[in-house]
């Protein structure tokens, strides 16, 4: 994740950049007839609607730089033709990144100061995992 709320994840047939900026969040709100935080809560609680999943992923691919046409193709093939629950972790990760963002630091930068002081650190930065999904970001 980065300060611009983008996240790169291995999904479908490769590594993709996902980003939900203000415009994509507005469209998500229109398409799902719910605020982005409501959609996020539905995804976490398991009370999601299928359009919550497909629209979140499609709009995040577009926000990440993919053409709308290619994003629709990817979602139709890798989301809409698969069991819906299979795509929930991706939707959760990208929507969480869009709403919450992430710190500027990378894992290596977080550990460097403690090594300089002579301490060993086995901390794992939470920003290296997609929220509650176990998906490792690239």
pLDDT string in tens for the chain (138-residue length): 457 889 999 999 999 999 999 999 999 999 999 999 999 999 999 999 999 999 999 999 999 999 999 999 999 999 999 999 999 999 999 999 999 985 453 545 444 444 443 444 333 333 444 444 445 555
Residue 133 lies in a domain: no
Angle, in degrees to the nearest 10, between helices 68-78 and 50-63:
140
Q: Which domain holds residue 118?
A: 6-128
User: What is the count of structural domains for the chain?
Assistant: 1
Q: Is residue 92 part of a domain?
A: yes
Asked if 99 and 56 touch (Cβ cutoff 8 Å), the reply is no
In the 8-state DSSP scheme, what is residue 129?
Answer: B
Is 74 contained in some domain?
yes
| Stated pTM of the model | 0.74
Contact predicate 12/58, CB 8 Å: no
Neighbouring residues of 34: CB distance < 8 A, sequence distance ≥ 6: 42, 52
């Amino acid at each position: 994740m980065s300060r611009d709320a983008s996240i790169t994840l291995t999904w479908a047939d490769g590594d993709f950049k996902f980003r939900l900026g203000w415009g994509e969040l507005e469209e998500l709100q229109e398409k799902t007839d719910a605020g982005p935080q409501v959609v996020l809560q539905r995804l976490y609680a398991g009370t999601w609607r299928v359009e919550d999943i497909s629209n979140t992923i499609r709009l995040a691919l577009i926000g990440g730089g993919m053409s709308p046409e290619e994003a629709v193709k990817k979602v139709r093939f890798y989301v809409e033709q698969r069991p819906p629950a299979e795509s929930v972790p991706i939707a959760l990760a990208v929507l969480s990144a869009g709403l919450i963002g992430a710190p500027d630091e990378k894992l290596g930068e977080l550990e460097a100061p403690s090594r300089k002081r002579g301490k060993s650190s086995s901390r794992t930065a939470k920003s290296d995992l997609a929220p509650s999904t176990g998906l490792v970001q690239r």
